[in-house]
Structure 1
Amino acid sequence: MSGDNAKKALIDSLNGLLADYFALYLKTKNFHWHVAGPQFRDLHLLFDEQAAEIFALTDIVGERVRKNGGNTLTSIGAVAAKTSIKDDDRTGVDALAMVKALRDDNAALVETIRAVKAAATEAGDNATEGMSDDWTDQAEQRVWFLTQILA
């Protein structure tokens, strides 16, 4: 892949990751606000903690797009058009179904991050390539925590 094409592919993959982070943040906050049942307190706090971690990454990823010469997502519509995270607009979701959905979304996010890392390698962006390892570790930790709740 030529240098320009590799850079464009990286920017596109970073914007996809950015969209996924925003969508997963909103989904996690939705579940934080609407969780109910015997595990309310633990899940309410866990979902809030995970949402904060996810939201903190949006600025980092957006700035990687800009540092690579691209434009970031500009609106909710742009996020919706680019994300692979499925919406869940329900407010009465069973607590364990919330946990399973977030576990599955975070596991899928790991694959998206791996694709970003591959694109960064192709484009010669060692900063994004290195950061992606931390992003992967964070997503895998969220998957682990959520999986243990379902065990």
Structure 2
Amino acid sequence: MSTLLNELQVEDAKLHLTRPLATPTDLSVDATKEISGALTAILADVYAIYMKTKNFHWHMSGAHFRDYHLMLDEQSVQLFAMTDDIAERVRKIGGKTLRSIDDISRMQRILDNDADYVEPADMLAELCSDNKQLAAELRVAHTLCDDCGDYSSVSMIDNWIDQTERRVWFLYESYRH
């Protein structure tokens, strides 16, 4: 009897592994698809800005090295913290999200910077522009989520917009003459 029970449990576990991800939600299938797509694209952008921020943090130089280095480190921590919240929100509403670095590179709208050397002021200006672009994308997603009645995502996006605007402000004030 226990062998049969054990075999049934194994079969059930195998079936469970082959079932598609389908977290229950009261949002419509279309809303889940649209919101998941928008948030996943934002997630790819956040990863791209995170990596660029770390790149510039590592390669910072010049008279204001310490201040810029610390600011970019603080901003990269904030960006990285956003990634889990965004991905988990997508999963909570029944969507699928990023699975690999290739996914990020296919979906990101933020351009990479692989230059051997970038002037500190240019680093800050580029990150400022990237964060402004992210804020704009977050506003689009905010409207979509609001229209679909996804108020939890709206609330989270409110916070991400505020954080992004703060990064823009600090970056702008750091590089302007």
Q: Which category of TM-score, normalised to the shorter sequence, fits these structures?
A: over 0.9
1:58 pairs, out of 53, 59, 83, with 83
Aligned to 2:150: 125
Cα deviation, residue 124, structure 1: 1.3
Q: Are the counterparts in 2 of residues 6 and 122 from structure 1 also a CA contact under 8 Å?
A: no
* Most deviating of 9-18 and 117-126: 117-126
Is structure 2 residue 36 aligned with structure 1 residue 7? no
Aligned to 1:76: 101
Is structure 2 residue 119 aligned with structure 1 residue 88? no
Q: Which has the higher contact order (CA 8 A, sep 6+)?
A: 1
* Most deviating of 13-22 and 121-130: 121-130
Match of 2:155, as an amino acid? G
Once the two structures are superposed, what CA deviation does each residue of 1:8-42 show, in whole Å capped at 9, x if it has no partner? 11110000110011110000000000011111111
Is structure 2 residue 131 aligned with structure 1 residue 106? yes
Cα deviation, residue 62, structure 1: 0.2
How high is the TM-score relative to the length of structure 2?
0.82
Q: Are the counterparts in 2 of residues 34 and 91 from structure 1 also a CA contact under 8 Å?
A: no
Q: Are the counterparts in 2 of residues 33 and 44 from structure 1 also a CA contact under 8 Å?
A: yes
Q: Quick one: percent identity of the two aligned structures? A: 42
Match of 2:86, as an amino acid? V
What is the root-mean-square deviation of aligned Cα atoms in Å? 1.2
Cα deviation, residue 81, structure 1: 0.6
Cα deviation, residue 4, structure 1: 2.3
- Unaligned segments of structure 2, at least 5 residues: 1-26
Aligned to 2:69: 44
Match of 2:58, as an amino acid? W
Moved over 3 A (4+): none
Cα deviation, residue 125, structure 1: 0.8
2:43 pairs, out of 5, 15, 18, with 18
Q: Are the counterparts in 2 of residues 110 and 136 from structure 1 also a CA contact under 8 Å?
A: yes
Distance 2:81 2:112 in 1: 20
Distance 1:119 1:81 in 2: 22
Aligned to 2:171: 146
Distance 1:106 1:116 in 2: 15
